[in-house]
Amino acid sequence: MGFVFLPPVQPSVPVAGTGDLFPVRRIWCVARNYAAHAREMGADPNQDPPFFFAKPGDAVVMDGAAIPYPSQTNNLHHEAELVVALKSGGQDLAQDKALDCVFGYAPGIDLTRRDLQEQAKKAGRPWDVAKGFDRSAPIGAIRPASQIGHPSKGAITLSVNGQMRQAGDLSDMIWPVAGVLAHLSRLVRLEAGDLIFTGTPEGVGPLVRGDRAVVNIDGVGSLNITIS
């Protein structure tokens, strides 16, 4: 049996310093994983289990890309995030084994149509079109954990046109990476190729046409995009 048309191109992300590509399966994102950002969004940070939303795998955008301002929004927001890339997975991962599944880490931006998200929150509707739109997941080259280890502290920053907008520290995560993976693996089976955006520190804000946003994460790398 053949396909009725050519299968879609496999989304992928470059592995830093190599000619290799990391093939993307699914993209999951953690909401409100830094207390100060939870507060700026009007939520009460606490130790409730993390909650998740998804983006399509083909929403990934390469470092250096020009991203057209998305449709149906007047309030596109940046959220700088550490992205975890999995080389294996499983269900019900134990927290002390979860990091064994990690291939590497990259800087990412969880682009958000904030106006659509606010409407969805008010109406009790899903966040999909606010979060999972085309090109909503810019991600830098992945640095293998075999080279950089598993970063649990260090600065995560995002600047727009050279002005600092977000400056946090990975150690401020409410749920560290191992905890995120353990929780998520109770909800869905994780597999090689999955990417997990681990939440953003405070200072989220709008991007407009012509803006250049740069994310830096200590020990992980950088990502830059422009909005065209």
Query: Nearest approach, Cβ of 110 to Mn ion (angstroms)?
Result: 3
CA 3 to CA 102: how far, in whole Å?
A: 33
CA 28 to CA 106: how far, in whole Å?
A: 14
Query: Nearest approach, Cβ of 139 to Mn ion (angstroms)?
Result: 13
User: Which are the contacts of 150, defined by CB distance < 8 A and separation ≥ 6?
Assistant: 99, 102, 105, 177
Query: Nearest approach, Cβ of 209 to Mn ion (angstroms)?
Result: 22
- Span interacting with Mn ion, options 17-25, 71-79, 188-196, 206-214, rule CB under 5 A: 71-79
- With beta carbons less than 8 A apart as the criterion, state whether 25 and 192 touch: yes
When the beta carbons of 117 and 185 are compared against Mn ion, the nearer one is 117
Residues 190-219: x where in contact with Mn ion by CB under 5 A, - otherwise, as a string: ----------x-------------------
Query: Nearest approach, Cβ of 208 to Mn ion (angstroms)?
Result: 19
Site size toward Mn ion, by CB under 5 A = 3
Q: Is 79 in the site for Mn ion (CB under 5 A)?
A: yes
Place of tokens 């050519």: 6
When the beta carbons of 185 and 198 are compared against Mn ion, the nearer one is 198
User: Which are the contacts of 204, defined by CB distance < 8 A and separation ≥ 6?
Assistant: 37, 40, 77, 78, 79, 112, 114, 165, 166
Residues 18-37: x where in contact with Mn ion by CB under 5 A, - otherwise, as a string: --------------------
Q: Which residue is nearest to Mn ion (CB)?
A: 110
Q: Compute CA distances 87 → 146, 147, 219, whole Å.
A: 12, 15, 20
Phi and psi at residue 44, in whole multiples of 5°? -105, 110
When the beta carbons of 22 and 53 are compared against Mn ion, the nearer one is 53
Positions in the binding site for Mn ion (CB under 5 A): 79, 110, 200
